[in-house]
């Protein structure tokens, strides 16, 4: 067995070279291509070359929103922890995850709904003062509630990253958000997850023209 010797600071660069090579000449306009490659890099899953769906110019819209101080609202602590908060703060943005807030827990219990549902409502309040990117990596119910808020005119996200993972209502919730009149990036089907939601955010934060 022979291992390739790669310096630590060159591992990501080498990984991206391998990904680009194994895409066999397939490319996307930037910054969309960077999003695709980073999702593959995070997951080692080339299905993301086919299942990532972008509304028109969504990746560019996301990059510009972040550079203009957009905040990010996510449904999981895992996604929140994976987003480069220092880079985001350099543009004036913050990451918000309300899933464990006492008022969210109490409201979800009283209303008989998921905490992720309430999180989207709190995110909509932030969107009254700041551009907001909603990055959903776990809960289909978050996407369903967000779609309701959008259609009711209660929130206008700068971008929706709809990447819940699993088997129950996942596919349907993604289809629902893609019917809304907002920019979106969605991995169609069952795949996704908090790591993918965070990766999409970071790919836009790291993008260099």
pLDDT of residue 57: 98
pLDDT of residue 39: 98
Q: Has 41 been annotated as catalytic?
A: yes
| Separation CA 70–CA 127 (nearest Å) | 9
pLDDT of residue 10: 87
| Separation CA 197–CA 162 (nearest Å) | 8
| Separation CA 100–CA 123 (nearest Å) | 14
| Residue 88 near residue 95, CB atoms below 8 Å | yes
Question: 41, 71, 96, 130: which is the annotated catalytic residue?
Answer: 41
pLDDT of residue 3: 76
pLDDT of residue 2: 73
| Residue 144 near residue 176, CB atoms below 8 Å | yes
Q: Which domains does the chain have, with CATH numbers?
A: 30-206 (3.40.50.10230)
pLDDT of residue 8: 72
Start-to-end C-alpha separation, the chain: 40
Looking at the chain, list the stretches that DSSP marks H as alpha helix, in order from N- to C-terminal side: 11-22, 32-43, 48-51, 58-67, 77-82, 85-90, 102-111, 115-126, 140-151, 170-178, 194-206
| Separation CA 51–CA 171 (nearest Å) | 12
Query: Considering Cα of 151, then 156, then 160, then 166, what sign does the dihedral take?
Result: negative
pLDDT in tens, the chain (209 residues): 777 777 777 889 999 999 999 999 999 999 999 999 999 999 999 999 999 999 999 999 999 999 999 999 999 999 999 999 999 999 999 999 999 999 999 999 999 999 999 999 999 999 999 999 999 999 999 999 999 999 999 999 999 999 999 999 999 999 999 999 999 999 999 999 999 999 999 999 999 98
């Amino acid at each position: 067995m022979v291992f390739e010797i790669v310096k630590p600071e060159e591992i990501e660069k080498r990984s991206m070279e391998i990904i680009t090579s194994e895409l066999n000449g397939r490319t996307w306009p930037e910054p969309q291509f960077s999003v695709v490659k980073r999702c593959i890099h995070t997951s080692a899953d080339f299905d993301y070359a086919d299942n990532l769906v972008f509304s028109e110019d969504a990746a560019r819209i996301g990059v510009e929103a972040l550079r203009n101080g957009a905040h990010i609202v996510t449904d999981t602590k895992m996604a929140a922890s994976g987003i480069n908060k220092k880079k985001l703060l350099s543009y004036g943005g913050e990451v918000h995850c309300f899933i464990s807030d006492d008022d969210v827990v109490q409201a979800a219990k009283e209303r008989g709904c998921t905490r992720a549902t309430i999180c989207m409502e709190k995110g909509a309040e932030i969107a009254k003062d700041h551009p907001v990117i909603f990055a959903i990596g776990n809960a289909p119910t978050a996407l369903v509630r967000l779609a309701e808020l959008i259609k009711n005119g209660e929130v206008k996200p700068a971008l929706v990253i709809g990447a819940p993972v699993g088997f129950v209502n996942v596919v349907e919730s993604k289809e629902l958000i893609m019917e809304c009149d907002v920019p979106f990036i969605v991995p169609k089907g069952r795949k996704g997850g908090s790591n993918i939601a965070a990766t999409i955010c970071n790919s836009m934060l790291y993008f260099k023209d």
